[in-house]
Amino acid sequence: MTTKPGLAQPKPSASRARRERERQQMRARLLEAARDIAAEEGWNAVTIRRIAHKLEYTPPILYQYFSSKESLFVELMLVGFSELTARLEAAAEAPAPQRLAAMAEAYWAFAFASPELYQAMNGMDGVPFGTAETPPEAKTAFRTFRIALQSIAEARGAELGDPGGAVDTVWAFLHGCVSLAMAGRVKGGTERARALMLNGLEPLFAAQLSS
């Protein structure tokens, strides 16, 4: 039956709304269980069977929510980018002189507060970036970063010669610093790695500016 223009769409029944709410709650529980296992034992330990055991369900029930371990990982990756975006948006509210450091600090804080999510976000084979197929959650994070960098440049009376390239360059720098620190490959540990990141950030950003 075709609904006439101007008429309100029928609201879903209470039972249907409840079932959808319960489904979303169950998906959230599965994702949280996967994160807990990964935080304790690493992503190699995360399997549908292991998650089912942790939640005291049988694996077939979990497959009703995620068709595979890979689909669950993709969902976690999207959760990660959403959480990162929230931190970046808050950092972008910092005064212009402190905004660049605030963005870097937000990125670093997210990575070390949720290392299991950070690893999922950066270890997904086959997830495209910089293309039309890039997940919208990732696009939002990159866009938030680009707008912040552009605002910093404008506050300095300059502009980014290549805004997209500037985002890629600074993002790659931050990711490299975080990854090396997580792997314990920076002499002096994470605090020195963080200090080196902040010290190197300004000249790197300045190189992206054109008057």
Which CATH class, in words, describes the domain spanning 13-67?
Answer: mainly alpha
Return the pLDDT at 129: 72
Q: Return d(Cα 27, Cα 21) in angstroms, integer.
A: 10
Does the domain at 74-210 match CATH 3.80.10.10? Answer given as: no
Residues lower than pLDDT 50 in the chain: 1
pLDDT digits (tens, 9 = 90+) for 120-138: 888 765 566 777 778 899 9
Q: What angle do CA 20, 82, 43 make, to 5 degrees?
A: 85
Element containing residue 160 per DSSP (H, E): strand 159-160
pLDDT for 69 equals 83
Closest CA relative to residue 192, chosen from 131, 132, 108: 108
The pTM of the full predicted model, rounded to 2 decimals, is: 0.84
Q: Where are the domains of the chain?
A: 13-67, 74-210
